[in-house]
Amino acid sequence: MTPALRFLSTAITTASPDDASGSLFIAGVFLNGGKPRLTPSAAKFDEARGGTLTRMIECGAFDAKAGSTLFLGETEAFPNGFAVLGLGEEKDFSRKVFAECAAKAARAFAWAESQAYAVQEWLPPKTSGKSSARLFSTAVLNALTPRFTLKTEHDDGIRTKRIFWIDDLVTDKLVQGLDEGVVTAEAMSISRGLADLPGNVCTPAYLAEAVQNAAAGMTTVEVEVLDEHQIEELGMGAFLSVAKGSTVPPRFIAIRYRGTNAALPPVAFVGKGITFDTGGISLKPAANMADMTYDMSGAAVVIGTVMAAARAKLPVNLLGVVAACENLPSGSAAKPGDVVTSLSGKTIEILNTDCEGRMILADALTWTARQKPELIIDAATLTGACCVALGAPYSGLFTSDDALAHDLIKAGRDSLDDVWRLPIGAEYAKLMKTPAADIANQATVRDGGASSAAAFLSVFAEDVRWAHLDIAATANTSGRDRHSTGRPVPMLMRFLLKKMR
């Protein structure tokens, strides 16, 4: 496969009802105490068709539960068809239900070349039009992003090339909200597209080449890629200790995007890029090991966020850093008890080779801090402990910077991509003391494993404002039908967009 990033193939714009007459028109239906309440467009259609929709509801053909859909056929007024979307009980309608319903409708009607939504008739309560537009465009475009497959015969059924937000009064803020949703959805598309690739395809070299290919011709983007010899020359001993067990060479990738005054320091994102993780000598159990293709999800998030921001020409300076390698057992692999020297000069005793993410991030954080960014946010599928603590609803957030924590939590809430702040500090850092080196890569106890891992990372962020996102539970689903979620891209993009104001 030619290394490439997956960009959006569906566009979204505003339109008047007349402008979207050639599209499949989708109206909403609420429930009030189990009884249907038709929105104006649905009621108008129902009246014109002699109560067709009402009869369909009465006979049980359409229950109007949240996310349910029904195609009602083509008419002279709607030559490409009219459909309804169930919005569920109106008292329970929220921003989250709004986005979920929009996504389900977009996917259910993906066979239509264009879809038009009377969204202004079913906006979530206490939510601005701009915010609703952002959530809507992110949801529908993400729903229309195809899943990865290498099946010889496959049709994803996605035919939709354009989405219309129907509104009689289009404001600049509404358009801005849709555009913010588009850049978020494109970042998610890039991230999911990389994360869903199998490990034999998405190697460190593939990641590097995909970014270089996408950046070709973009005057605002500069990509620097270091090979294993350059990584060694720099003194990234922690990173190389993970990479040396594999015959697949590592890559260190730095993406610089300059969207505003070059004198302003960039916001830096750092991503864990373990393209496959066996655990090394500390071998993982075989069950669900195939999920470990997603151990580079942090890298995918960083690449998606920075490249989508660059393509959208956002007025911000960004630095995306990815340390990418495989973690495999072999005769050359690092062993428990080995001591290595990191880029920072600090020595690290390797007590568990399956604590590899913090090893590569140690050098990546040190390198990034030395570029003097405004702040650093790293994203990593780092610990099973965070999965146990929070599960899939929340990514773990660790920082000693209260203002940064506040902004990230707010961005997560606004984007429906929540994070939960967990503790970090000296009480956890002291658990990594060892007589053999400056620090060990594993705590003396299992308790508080997510916090002790974050405390390990904090040692290498130097004096730069820093936050760590543990996305082990949120980056992907598991099992036979595993797939990337694209999280925490929405939260990071919302954070960036808020900073630009």
Active site residues: 284, 358
* Separation between Cα atoms, residue 253 and residue 242, nearest integer Å: 16
Interior/surface letters 404-433, b for 16+ CB within 10 angstroms, e for the rest: bbebbbebbebbbbbbebbebeeebbebbe
What span, in angstroms and rounded, lies between the C-alpha atoms of 186 and 313? 13
> In 135-282, which ranges are E strands?
162-166, 221-226, 251-258, 267-277
Q: How far apart are CA 343 and CA 363, in angstroms?
A: 5
Q: Which two tokens stand for residue 329?
A: 């057992």
Phi, psi of 324 (to 5 degrees): -125, 130
**Pairing status of strand 69-71 against strand 162-166:** unpaired
3-state SS, residue 157:
coil
Amino acid at the residue 481: D
Do residues 444 and 430 lie in contact, with contact meaning Cβ atoms separated by under 8 Å? Answer: no
Tokens for 113, please give them: 């070349």
> To the nearest 10°, the Cα dihedral for 229, 231, 234, 236?
-130
Do 116 and 164 meet the contact criterion of CB atoms below 8 Å apart? Answer: yes
Q: Residue 227 has which token pair?
A: 């090979």
Q: Which sign does the torsion angle of CA 178, 486, 210, 154 carry?
A: negative
Residue closest to 440 by CA, chosen among 329, 367, 337: 337
Q: In sequence order, which residues have a C-beta less than 8 Å from that of residue 400 and are 6 or more positions away?
A: 424, 425, 458
Q: Is 172 annotated as ligand-binding?
A: no
Q: According to the annotation, is 277 in a ligand binding site? A: yes
Q: Which residue has the tokens 């302003």?
A: 264
Question: Contact at 8 Å (CB) between 239 and 323?
Answer: yes
First to last CA, the chain: 40
Asked if residue 447 belongs to a known ligand binding site, the reply is no
3-class DSSP state for residue 339? strand
- Residues making up the annotated binding site are 272, 277, 295, 354, 356
- Residues making up the annotated binding site for Mn(2+) are 272, 277, 295, 354, 356
